[in-house]
Amino acid sequence: MSASQGPVVRPYGDTTGDGMVQVSFTLPVPHDKRAEGAAIQLANRMGMDPALLVHAKQMGDGFTFFVVYGRVNHLVDLSAVQVVERDFPLLSAKEVNAVVKRRLRRKLSVVGACIGTDAHTVGIDAILNVKGIAGEKGLEYYRELSVTNLGAQVSVPELVEAARAARADAVLVSQVVTQRDAHLHNTREMSAAFREALPAGRRPLLIVGGPRFDESQATELGVDRIFGRGTTPGEVASYLVHALVTGRKVGAA
């Protein structure tokens, strides 16, 4: 601890600094005493000592879901934590509209979709649909934004053509299905398709979001921004203004 350059913390369970954590996982075994012993063994090898099995439930044929509670000795050095900080101001809907109208002098075009086999539109609808989420209205509410919501299971070629037809300034893609890293494969395919279809100066801003994305992977995946869980329409709208209008990525006055 003496070598740390910042505050160091320990997990908190029942009392401050007791190191207690709770983890859940599934093992490909039917639920019996041996399965429970296997769960405890795994937890021990993960560094939990003692490890207490607090829940076990058969999940279909030959699978068991476990919840284990126990103590770990690991410390967290807060000075070594790396996150993507918001680097743009949050604007109200009124402010977004005013900036777009004054600086862009046309409506800012946004196209959104769930690509590949992903049929979960809750995320993209929360950002785009006028009803929004948690009392905050979506981008359709902004009078200076032109929004096209393509919905679910849109192929990458269809997305590229729709963006071209709408003269999109930004493309928003939501990915909830993550089995076998489908969200990463789909994102790479999308970014490659836009690079091939459009020259750099005419390429829309590419934004992806979903619960399993690492926000620091934007460059690796070939997109401009990644938004994680809990993102609001206002954050997305403010980012669009920052990246496309005040940052002059598109022709603004």
Q: What is the pLDDT of residue 248?
A: 59
**pLDDT higher than 80, residue 218:** yes
What is the 3-state secondary structure of 143-194? CCEEEEECCCCECHHHHHHHHHHCCCCEEEEECCCCHHHHHHHHHHHHHHHH
Query: Which range, of 103-107, 116-120, 233-237, averages the lowest pLDDT?
Result: 116-120
Query: Which of 33, 94, 107, 131 is flagged as catalytic?
Result: 131
**Which helix (H) or strand (E) is 27 found in, with range?**
strand 20-27
Provide mean pLDDT across the span 80-88: 87
Q: What is the pLDDT of residue 212?
A: 86
Specify whether 131 is catalytic. yes
Crossing angle (nearest 10°) for helices 182-197 and 156-165: 40
Q: What is the pLDDT of residue 134?
A: 86
Q: Does this model's pTM top 0.85?
A: no
CA distance 1 to 214: 28
Residue linked to tokens 């990463």: 184
Provide mean pLDDT across the span 241-252: 72
CA distance 162 to 128: 16
**pLDDT higher than 80, residue 224:** yes
